[in-house]
Chain A
């Protein structure tokens, strides 16, 4: 992974978050939640700062980041696509929907498209089982998605000005 140079501001932000939790090591998961909430992801450089602030080894931070699927070391796409793979969605055909997204965007689960626009990941039940199969793009929920609709959904976000789209979505 290419090295990232964190700006002074970012480092200060991380330090502030750690301080809010009194730099206690057992608050690590809460700290990670907050930092990821601000930065979007947790690259190695960020983990190093956190480790230093909480006075624990980087390996300990890395161990926790990689254990929990909620934490990611890769930046998400501008429009993160999540396909629900909960049981209700699975029996209603989520697998075919996922296959179609992967095919259309030519990326695998956990990856982003080269232009950084889309990333795909899987979720386990978003609690909308009545609408199965469910796909979310950013905060927007699509229900009863058929493989044949995948193209349209992607098109909705690729058209013209993506920033405007995001606002209206």
Chain B
């Protein structure tokens, strides 16, 4: 029961409860009630003030105060404005937004309409990844049903307020989650970021003021209107209000989506909700913030999770991916993994990100192959700082975080690679060596029959040998041998 006890469901309130393809279900759970309340009893300023009081901050990664963003967009004069829902969800290993869109699409549509009412926009656009076909289908159904009920479209609930919502599709580019890139992508261009300012609130889609919010941010809005800002702001910590949805994955027993109040500790998440580490292994690290974030050690297990604490710990909230790692994970390889992602996803527009990350990756590869030096670690730090300071957009500015945080928290592992030529986690293949101990080998031929590349030779009942030049270090022989005759060094 601890799995549920520690959780508070706001953004996920209706997921798994209602049939997302039946608007009647959603309405029975108060959908569009908040929109009605806003249109009939509150002025846009009153709604914005309520959102500001609630303390809600953007759930897309940056943590910008949502009420303030709405106010800024409202105050820009323009004949046309847009509300954009960022459903690009590019963080690999995270699926919070997808679950909300598939489980409760109306909560997002309703919030977009409320936002439109506040800032003075009549058009909403949902930018969603093409990789999410079910979410796309459910959104389309939801939009159609809401229009039939007069909850979207012209003259909503007889209030004179018009709001329509259209869909735009991503095409597999992580950087398009960045708001300026997202806007260019919606305009049919390459999704390359541009310098801010101007912020989208001032000049966004087709040059018009555009309010961009994340899916989960929107999903919180109706609840805040219905239950009140005071109720909402009682949940969480001083500067981070409400809850956060995390996608808990990796070496943890209970994998899946969780929603916890801000301020919950990592220990509660990992051990109480997550049920601890798979196979009783030792906890090593939690990665938050995806490719922009960092790895936290066991020293942070009792730190309350909120925006500011995570940044202070060298990571960030990000969109909510939370990957648990155990003693078998090599932190140098993890840093390299994230950089591979960055390299693939960098749009290439500016040099520090395009070239600098390539160099970082080369150095990390060198280290994982056993050719690194102590100076290389210094070089990694220096280069990381330059990339952070000089990149144009958030992708480049945060891309060295996985490197810096793993060096800061697991320097001994880096040192073991460069000084002793060893990978303590036993993951860097170039640094591994499988050998057969002659005295222990019974010549059962099991390893010989299972080696995928034929690297093992030997006669039945006689000791076997591994040809190191052929061995691809797959570890199959090591697992198969029943006599513990194979060593891994």
Contacts and interface: CB of A to CB of B under 8 A. Distances in A.
A117 interface: no
Contact of B130 (A33, A91, A92, A124): A33
B105 interface: no
Contacts of B99: 127
8 contacts: A64-B188, A68-B171, A70-B172, A87-B337, A99-B472, A103-B452, A127-B95, A127-B98
B476 A148 contact: yes
B171 A71 contact: yes
Interface residues of B, number: 47
Interface string B88-99: 001111110011
Given A87-B323, A90-B337, A69 B171 contact: yes
A148 B347 CA distance: 36
B171 A87 contact: no
Interface stretch (A4-12, A20-28, A73-81, A160-168): A20-28
A9 to B, nearest CB: 25
Interface string A20-62: 0000011111101100000000000000000000000000000
A126 interface: yes
Contact of B187 (A26, A87, A88, A92): A26
Interface of A: 25-30, 32-33, 63-64, 67-71, 85-92, 96, 99-100, 103, 123-127, 129-130, 132, 147-148
Return the 5 tightest CB-CB contacts between A and B, nearest first.
Answer: A68-B171, A88-B249, A87-B93, A70-B172, A86-B92
Given A88-B93, A91-B251, A92-B250, A29 B173 contact: no
A68 B191 CA distance: 8
In terms of DSSP, what is the predominant structure of the interface of chain B? loop
B480 to A, nearest CB: 10
Contacts of B323: 87-88, 91
Interface of B: 90-95, 98-99, 130-132, 168-174, 185, 187-192, 247, 249-251, 255-256, 287, 290, 321, 323, 325, 329, 334, 337-338, 341, 344, 347, 452, 472, 474, 476
B15 to A, nearest CB: 13
Nearest to B256: A130
B339 to A, nearest CB: 13
B248 to A, nearest CB: 9
Contacts of B188: 25-30, 64
A91 B92 contact: no
B91 to A, nearest CB: 8
Contacts of A91: 250-251, 323, 325, 329, 334
B120 to A, nearest CB: 23
A29 B171 contact: yes
A15 to B, nearest CB: 18
Nearest to B326: A91
A124 B187 contact: no
A129 B474 contact: no
Given A33-B169, A68-B173, A91-B329, A86 B187 contact: no
Given A129-B255, A147-B474, A64 B249 contact: no
A134 to B, nearest CB: 11
B253 to A, nearest CB: 11
In terms of DSSP, what is the predominant structure of the interface of chain A? helix
A90 B334 CA distance: 9
Contacts of A132: 249, 255
Contact of A68 (B172, B329, B472): B172
Contacts of A29: 168-169, 171, 185, 188
Most chain B CB within a 10 A radius of its CB, from A26, A86, A126, A148: A86
A67 B191 contact: yes
Given A70-B171, A125-B93, 11 more contacts: A26-B188, A67-B347, A68-B170, A85-B92, A87-B249, A87-B338, A89-B93, A91-B329, A100-B452, A127-B98, A147-B474
B93 A129 contact: yes
B354 to A, nearest CB: 14
A96 B474 contact: yes
A130 B168 CA distance: 29
A107 to B, nearest CB: 17
A86 B93 contact: yes
A32 B250 contact: no
Given A125-B93, A126-B131, A88 B191 contact: no
Contacts of A92: 250-251
A30 B249 CA distance: 33
A87 B287 CA distance: 10
B255 A125 contact: no
Most chain A CB within a 10 A radius of its CB, from B189, B191, B334: B189
A89 B190 CA distance: 29
Contact of B171 (A27, A33, A126, A148): A33
A82 to B, nearest CB: 10
Most chain B CB within a 10 A radius of its CB, from A32, A64, A100: A64
A89 B158 CA distance: 50
Contacts of A126: 131
Nearest to A37: B130
Contacts of A123: 131
Nearest to A85: B92
B130 to A, nearest CB: 6
A148 B474 CA distance: 10
A29 B181 CA distance: 14
Contact of A67 (B190, B325, B338): B190
A129 B171 contact: no
B283 to A, nearest CB: 13
